[in-house]
Amino acid sequence: MYRFGRRVDALPEGPRRRLLTRLYWLLFRLVETATGISLPKEARIGPGLRIWHFGGIFVNPGTVIGADCTLRQGVTLGNRAENGPCPVLEDGVDLGAYAQVIGGVRLGAGCRVGAMAVVLTDVPAGATAVGNPARVITAHPSNPPHPSGEQTFEDRLPGEPLPKG
């Protein structure tokens, strides 16, 4: 559904795009209701996203998710206040069940967030964070950061950076 929405946005202006945009919103709401997973097309999401178990997964449109990230049931990626900034997940971030990541925080490549954690501050690459508010318990990389070459992870994501909110 997400990829379909991105393709519709890339079409030239015209009746076909308008029609497909309406179809997208209808299907988006159906999928959201049926699965409890909300992945709006405005979010920038890299390849290889894994969703383990459905239900209660909400991603704010202003969120950025790098390649090969993992979300589990109950995960929220959103802002702390209406129209506030949203999280940026670099490549290979792994979020435990019901992890809540809110605000303009950056989760470094390959970091892990424990089940039920509430993340309000940045987590360094490769670190593990748990608790409410989340604290780093392991600063050593346990997952190797995704290879990036010369590009930053954001260079490889679809679309332009979007206004937060």
Ligand X SMILES: CC(C)(COP(=O)(O)OP(=O)(O)OC[C@H]1O[C@@H](n2cnc3c(N)ncnc32)[C@H](O)[C@@H]1OP(=O)(O)O)[C@@H](O)C(=O)NCCC(=O)NCCS
Residues that bind ligand X (CB under 6 A): 53, 72, 96-97, 112, 114-116, 128, 130-131, 137-138
The residue among 114 and 126 lying less far from ligand X, judged by its C-beta, is 114
The residue among 71 and 157 lying less far from ligand X, judged by its C-beta, is 71
The residue among 8 and 75 lying less far from ligand X, judged by its C-beta, is 75
Quick count: other Cβ atoms within 10 Å of Cβ 159? 14
Q: Cβ of residue 99: shortest distance to ligand X, in angstroms? A: 8
The residues pairing with 94 across neighbouring beta strands, listed in sequence order, are 70, 112
CA angle 31, 77, 129 (to 5 degrees): 135
Q: Cβ of residue 94: shortest distance to ligand X, in angstroms? A: 7
Could you tell me what percentage of the chain is helix, strand and coil, using 3-state DSSP and rounding each to the nearest 5?
Answer: 20, 25, 55
The C-alpha atoms of residue 6 and residue 3 are separated, in whole angstroms, by: 5
Query: Hey, what are 153's tokens?
Result: 């992870």
Q: Cβ of residue 113: shortest distance to ligand X, in angstroms? A: 7
Phi and psi of 17, rounded to 5°?
-65, -40
The residue among 122 and 154 lying less far from ligand X, judged by its C-beta, is 122
Phi and psi of 79, rounded to 5°?
-100, 165
Q: Cβ of residue 152: shortest distance to ligand X, in angstroms? A: 26
The residue among 27 and 137 lying less far from ligand X, judged by its C-beta, is 137
Q: Cβ of residue 35: shortest distance to ligand X, in angstroms? A: 16
